[in-house]
Amino acid sequence: MTGKRKRDLRFHWMSTGMHPCSCDTFVALPPSTEGQRVIFGKNSDRPCDEVQEVVYFPARDYGAEEKLECTYIEIEQAPHTYAVVLSRPAWLWGAEMGANEHQVCIGNEAVWGRENADDDEALLGMDLVRLGLERADTAVKAVDVIADLLEKYGQGGNCMEDQCGFTYHNSFLISDRTEAWVMETAGKYWAAEKVEGGYRNISNQYSITTQIDKEHPGMREYAKDQGWWDGDTPFSFAGVYSFVTTSRLEAAGSRYCEGKRLLEKSSGRINSETMMDILRNKESGINMEGMFSSTGSMVSVVPQDPSLPGVHYFTGTPDPERSVFKPFIFVEGIKQLKLTCSPCYGEDDPVKKKPRFQSKPDRKHPLFLKHEVVAAIIDSTRERGQKIMQNMNDLEKNKMAEMEAYLTGGVGDPTMVVHLFTNTVEEEFQVYSKS
């Protein structure tokens, strides 16, 4: 595909009704939350036919010379990686969102601006999400990890399982037990804003203005050299690095404002249910339908008390309004989450072969397959669909009530939760079979 053809396709995505007006990521910290907890949430809005899986990887140690194969490129492996749980498009190495054993949570968003999104294969923003989780035990360390990787390897490459050459830069919302950071990038350049209280959300637009707490050392000089900043007026990252015209991002701007409004509406009492309700909100566009849709969702509840566990909820299925948020808690002995793990094609995967994306294999995992059938019933049969939805809601509420015991009293016996996520998926299967 020629460079001109790729640029034309990118313009097509951004300027027509087919543009990917997604995603949305949220965080709320005390005093805006209940119970001295940090609440993190994200919808992953991706192509509607894409499968999102929920996977777990334990902590590991590596030798000094070991390498790591990411989606497109090989990089140096870290000496130690932390245990992670991820929600990711099944065709790639990285993740749209996830958490690690130290209760660091990260989600990313596609952003576009004056700096051209590179066609060359490098690290995807989704690779950077996983790398940040595997290598950082605090939110601010994750900012540093991502910054170092950007400087060394860059970001770029096709972000869809397709030959269209769809590329973008990335913004990240990163939280831990005490604070959150927004990190926005343009090529290797970046700015980061610290969030210590209240709430914050990001969408598909630059949002960091003059409050910049960390930044690439050459970011301002580069903008000045490009003629984007005169060097005298107050520096706003969004103002300088965004498009001259933001008309292409109107949908993202609307969702960003709606998301902020929904957080503000519940400020002081935001909890896991509040965040799930926001992610399920279709009127705002946050719960997306169409060519791009909400293919996976995540909500994390992280107590500020380090003796208490975080609870991380994942759907593993499209449309959070008709999906069950299933809990996960980090303990020793967790195995791979096979019911939300897609088939592996190894070196025969069309993503690994060049030219890439010559075909698209079936990546549906067991939960996706069963949910697909049930979603069709919900759409086509009103009475039966309502009954299924009620049973799904009951299962979710019961699990959330059970999780309160761990969030307030800790995990006394880890064996009670080692299969928590998988057992909940099996209970979801039972709901489907009884309906």
Q: Which tens digit of pLDDT belongs to each residue from 167-220?
A: 999 999 999 999 999 999 999 999 999 998 999 999 999 999 999 999 999 999
Give 250's pLDDT tier (boundaries 50, 70, 90). Answer: low
pLDDT reported for residue 164: 82
Measured between alpha carbons, how far is 141 from 210 in angstroms, rounded to an integer?
Answer: 22
For residue 118, the model assigns a pLDDT of 77
Q: Which residue has the tokens 């910049």?
A: 212
Q: Which amino acid is at 225?
A: D
pLDDT for res 244: 53
> How many CB atoms within 10 Å of residue 194?
16
CATH for 284: 3.60.60.10
The first and second tokens of residue 228, run together, are 């984007």
Q: How many domains does the chain have?
A: 1
pLDDT category of residue 159 using cuts at 50, 70 and 90 = very high
pLDDT in tens, 202-215: 999 999 999 999 99
CA–CA separation, 354 vs 378, rounded Å? 41
d(CA 433, CA 266): 36
| Tens-place pLDDT, residues 277-336 | 999 999 999 999 999 999 999 999 999 999 999 999 999 999 999 999 999 999 999 999
Give CA separation, 348 vs 24, 50, 351, 403, 406, in Å. Answer: 34, 19, 8, 41, 43
Catalytic residue among 21, 23, 105, 159: 23
Q: Give per-residue pLDDT as tens, 23-75.
A: 899 999 999 999 999 999 999 999 999 999 999 999 999 999 999 999 999 99
Amino acid identity of 261? R
Q: What is residue 15's predicted lDDT score, i.e. its pLDDT?
A: 41
| Residue 119 pLDDT | 82
> Which DSSP state fits 204?
S
Question: Is 164 annotated in the active site?
Answer: no
| pLDDT at residue 76 greater than cutoff 70 | yes
Residues of the domain holding 222: 3-431
Tens digits of residue pLDDT in 370-418: 999 999 999 999 999 999 999 999 999 999 999 999 999 999 999 999 9
pLDDT at 21: 57
- What does pTM read for this prediction? 0.94
Is the alpha carbon torsion for 214, 67, 79, 174 positive or negative?
positive
Choose the weakest-confidence range: 18-22, 342-346, 397-401: 18-22
